[in-house]
Structure 1
Amino acid sequence: MDRPVYQNVLHLTDYGAPYEGNFVSSLRALEAKLNAEGRAMAYVFPPRAAKQLWAYEMVRNKPNVTILKPGGFFSYTRQVRKLLKETKSGVLHVHFIHYRDKIASLLAARTCGHRVKLVVHLHNHLILPKAFLRALPQKFYLAQADRFVCCSASVAEHLVADGVPAKKVVVAENAIAFARLDESVPLTHAELGLPEGAKTALIFGFDFYRKGVDLAVEAVRQLREERGRNIALAVVLSSRRAEAERNILCLIGLEQMPEWIRLLPPRSDVGSYYRFADVFLSPSREEGFCYALVEAVYSKIPVVASAIDAQKDLHLPEQAFCVPGDASSLADAISLQLDLSSEQGSEQALNEAKQRVVEAYSLSAWADTVIATYHELT
């Protein structure tokens, strides 16, 4: 006898960040459009999300939100299987989950008693082990997926190069909840502990090496000591502050943090940081899609980015790019952007750039692309 076919969607995630952010905002926009079609959507978050206020409020206010209980492989399988049954979900859409949980959720989908299509969302490049035997389990899982939704063309191209059929791959560039960026308060140098009158370069450094924080530190040092610029560096960190501080002190050969570098906590009104800064830096060595670059452009501040594939996809002005892994090239690009920002016509250029990202990265456009993918499957 054929198994039942359902239209509802279950989003299984390993998302437990301090703030709801663009990811959850995107899911909310998707849910609204699915509801308009008469389809339901469920959210599933990992146990650590229980510590976050936004997740607590979602669970309290929305009956379709679940935070998983801690447990091993079989506990995870049972919980996901139960949710698939209870929500009558015909699509399992997974985000960020680790390999063990991927296999557990696949087992849950295959044993829940009805047909379930598997959608794997890649928010970064998939890196397969180079050794043939070690790559086999990953390739097995990839073969089970019905669709892959990739956050950028670069991620999609790498996936196809790894052998995934192009017909299974969809590009849905990440969406930005622009409204939350409009919530900001004026910040001062004194409030942030930065030198008065210094130009401020802003970088988000939750992954010290991948995000290129070391390159930013060296570039700003060069600008100050070798080129005489009055510039400071603000590094926003959500965790591992002590480790970042040790890394920076080792780089610059000092025992105490200099006044021109400040480590700052994340803010829910992240627009306050953008509007305070004079230039935003993303000298990343690797990215799937850099939310912060698009957010900075929306906030109308100049940006500098490494010319890696996923950032070149964003179609930033040519002068915004620097050579990947090259601190001197980064320093050149920062200097150029600061000079250009003081020229006549810079405000118009920033306004035009803002309008482009509003049109390209809306929540609605992202949701439409994802729903079109579901329509192909159900």
Structure 2
Amino acid sequence: MSKPLILIACYAASYGGNFIRSMRALADAYDGDVSFLLPEKARGMKWLDELGEYETGFTPFDRKGLRNACVALAQKYGNHAIVHTHFVGGLSLREVTQVFPNVLCHWHMALDAPIGLKSKTISLVKKAVFNTFYSKARFIAVSEPVASAIRREYPKVRVECVPNAIDFSRYADCGLEVHGRPAFPIRALIFGSHFERKGVDIAMDACAKLLQRRAGGGASLQFLRIIPVNA
């Protein structure tokens, strides 16, 4: 029997999507007890049904609420657990690591480029926090550009690159640049700035087929353009 697995996810979007399904798949594949800890705002979401009968708790995801919830979990499981956090950043993450000092923790984070004064200020604070409190952590990036960005932002942490299974050849099939923008007129807005992660090219292809049907077969991908939007 494996150690209990605690999945702490700062996720309260109305759409569960592949993230919640991936969490459920991980729970199903794990040979041990699994507990979910979610934000109070996630209570009542329809996608909670997708988590099945697994133990699920809710707490305000401020530092105090997260700490109290983690203390309760630590009292139940002690140091005999594995903790996965998803989208829990900076100072909030420190509350988790302080409650579970001797527990193996995996942190799943999103890397966002700082845009605007507020975002840049938050980025500086995040940089100081990680370089101070998490200098012994090991970061795993899924591509070389991401690894380079992490090394630039957090020079004191250890970074390894483990390329994932993304196949960029599919972008060539659509006549798109992997990280660029096609040069034809805007006709639709598709959200998502991480093309390879969000499958924007697949969404474009679906929209193009819809346009073709409406136009009697005359429309094509040239009616669409990707605009990077964090969503």
Query: Common fold, TM-score beyond 0.5?
Result: yes
In structure 2, what residue type is equivalent to 1:109?
F
Give ranges in structure 2 of 5+ residues lacking alignment. Answer: 115-119, 167-180, 210-218, 224-231
Structure 1 vs Structure 2: percent identity of aligned residues? 16
Give ranges in structure 1 of 5+ residues lacking alignment. Answer: 1-5, 175-214, 221-231, 236-280, 303-334, 340-378
State the shift of 1:72 in Å. Answer: 4.7
Cross-structure match for 2:69: 79
Cross-structure match for 2:45: 52
Residues 87 and 78 (structure 1), Cα distance of their counterparts in 2 relative to 1, 3 Å cut = same
State the shift of 1:117 in Å. Answer: 1.5
Cross-structure match for 2:16: 20
Q: How far, CA to CA, are the matches of 2:205 and 2:36 in structure 1?
A: 28
More helix by share: 1
Residues 150 and 298 (structure 1), Cα distance of their counterparts in 2 relative to 1, 3 Å cut = farther
Contact 1:80 1:105 in 2 (8 A): yes
One of 29, 44, 68 as aligned partner of 2:25: 29
Cross-structure match for 1:7: 3
In structure 2, what residue type is equivalent to 1:80?
C
Within a 5 Å distance, the mapping from 1:1-378 to structure 2 comes to: 7-35=3-31, 39-55=32-48, 57=49, 61-68=52-59, 70=60, 72-87=62-77, 90-110=81-101, 115-125=102-112, 135-145=127-137, 147-150=138-141, 152-161=143-152, 162-163=154-155, 164-167=157-160, 170=162, 172=164, 219-220=185-186, 232-233=187-188, 235=189, 281=190, 284=193, 287=194, 290-293=197-200, 295-296=202-203, 337-338=221-222
The TM-score normalised by the length of structure 2 is 0.63
State the shift of 1:51 in Å. Answer: 3.8
Residues 126 and 13 (structure 1), Cα distance of their counterparts in 2 relative to 1, 3 Å cut = farther
Residues 17 and 71 (structure 1), Cα distance of their counterparts in 2 relative to 1, 3 Å cut = closer
Q: Which has the higher contact order (CA 8 A, sep 6+)?
A: 1
Residues 42 and 156 (structure 1), Cα distance of their counterparts in 2 relative to 1, 3 Å cut = farther
In structure 2, what residue type is equivalent to 1:82?
A
Q: How far, CA to CA, are the matches of 1:118 and 1:10 in structure 2?
A: 10
Contact 1:8 1:41 in 2 (8 A): yes
Q: C-alpha offsets along residues 26-74 of structure 1, whole Å, 9 cap, x if unaligned?
A: 1122222222xxx33322111110141222x357x42422222x37533
Q: How far, CA to CA, are the matches of 1:300 and 1:336 in structure 2?
A: 9
The number of residue pairs the alignment matches comes to 191
